[in-house]
C-alpha cells in the first residue's frame, strides 16, 4: 500500500513532454531564444516545483525560491545538456541537486535538529491527553519526515534514483541511504496509520 501512496506523490501530469519538442526548444535556447526557455519553464514548472517542495518538506517560500534558482541554473548550464536523455530528466536532476545543495548547506542549522525532535512527538498524547491526529495527506506526512530521510524517500521512491546516486549526492554511505529509506517508510506507515 505504501508504494501506491508514494506513487500518488507524482503529479497527474508527470508524463514527460515530447522529447523532440523539448530538444527543439533547447536548441532554440542555445541560440538565445528566451521565448523557448519560457516554454520549457511553463512545461516543466509543476514537476520541478513538486520535487523541490517535497525535498524541502513543504516550506513554500523556500521551495519557490529554490525552484527559481533551479531554472536560473538550467539556463546557465544549458550548454552542458548533451541531448543523450530527455531534457526533463536532466532538468529534474538539476532541480533535485539544487534542493539537495540547500539541504547540505542547512545541515548544521539547529532548526534541522528541531525537525527530528518534532517528529518524535507526533503520535504521542498531547497536553489534553489525546493522541495527535494522524489523518493528514501524504504530502503533509512526507513533509514531517526528518530532512535526510525525506530526501532519500523522495529521490528513491519518487524520482527513481539509485542508492549509489543518493549516497553520492547526500555524502553518505550506501548503507546509510538504505537505512534512511527504511526509516522514512516506517515513519510514513506510522503517520498514515498503516501497520505492516
State the SS3 of 104-143.
Answer: HHCCCCHHHHHHHHHHHHCCCECCCCCECCCCCCHHHHHH
Check whether 69 has a pLDDT greater than 50.
yes
pLDDT at site 109 = 59
34-55 and 87-105 are packed helices; what angle lies between their axes, rounded to 10 degrees?
A: 50
**How far lies 157's CA from each of 5, 81, 101, 147, 185, in Å?**
10, 25, 20, 15, 10
How confident is residue 175, by pLDDT bands cut at 50, 70 and 90? Answer: very high
User: Which residue is it, cell 526509516?
Assistant: 183
How confident is residue 98, by pLDDT bands cut at 50, 70 and 90? Answer: very high
User: Which residue is it, cell 503517520?
Assistant: 191
Check whether 135 has a pLDDT greater than 70.
no
User: Which residue is it, cell 518538506?
Assistant: 57
Mean pLDDT of the chain: 79
- Please indicate, yes or no, whether the overall pTM of this predicted structure exceeds 0.75: no
- Any idea which architecture 2-10+19-192 has in CATH? Orthogonal Bundle (1.10)
Amino acid at each position: 500500500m505504501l508504494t501506491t501512496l508514494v506513487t500518488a506523490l507524482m503529479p497527474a501530469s508527470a508524463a514527460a513532454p515530447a522529447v523532440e519538442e523539448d530538444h527543439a526548444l533547447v536548441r532554440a535556447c542555445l541560440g538565445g531564444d528566451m521565448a523557448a526557455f519560457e516554454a520549457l519553464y511553463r512545461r516543466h514548472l509543476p514537476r520541478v516545483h513538486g520535487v523541490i517542495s517535497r525535498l524541502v518538506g513543504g516550506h513554500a517560500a523556500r521551495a519557490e525560491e529554490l525552484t527559481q534558482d533551479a531554472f536560473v541554473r538550467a539556463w546557465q548550464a544549458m550548454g552542458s545538456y548533451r541531448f543523450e536523455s530527455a531534457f526533463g530528466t536532466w532538468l529534474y536532476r538539476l532541480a533535485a541537486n539544487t534542493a539537495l545543495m540547500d539541504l547540505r548547506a542547512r545541515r548544521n542549522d539547529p532548526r534541522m535538529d528541531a525537525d527530528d525532535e518534532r517528529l518524535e512527538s507526533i503520535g504521542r498524547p498531547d497536553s489534553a491527553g489525546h493522541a495527535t491526529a494522524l489523518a493528514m495527506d501524504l504530502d503533509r506526512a512526507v513533509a514531517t519526515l526528518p530532512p535526510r530521510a525525506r530526501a532519500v524517500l523522495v529521490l528513491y521512491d519518487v524520482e527513481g534514483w539509485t542508492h549509489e546516486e543518493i549516497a553520492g549526492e547526500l555524502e553518505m554511505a550506501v548503507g546509510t541511504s538504505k537505512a534512511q529509506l527504511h526509516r522514512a517508510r516506517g515513519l510514513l506507515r506510522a503517520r498514515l496509520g498503516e501497520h505492516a
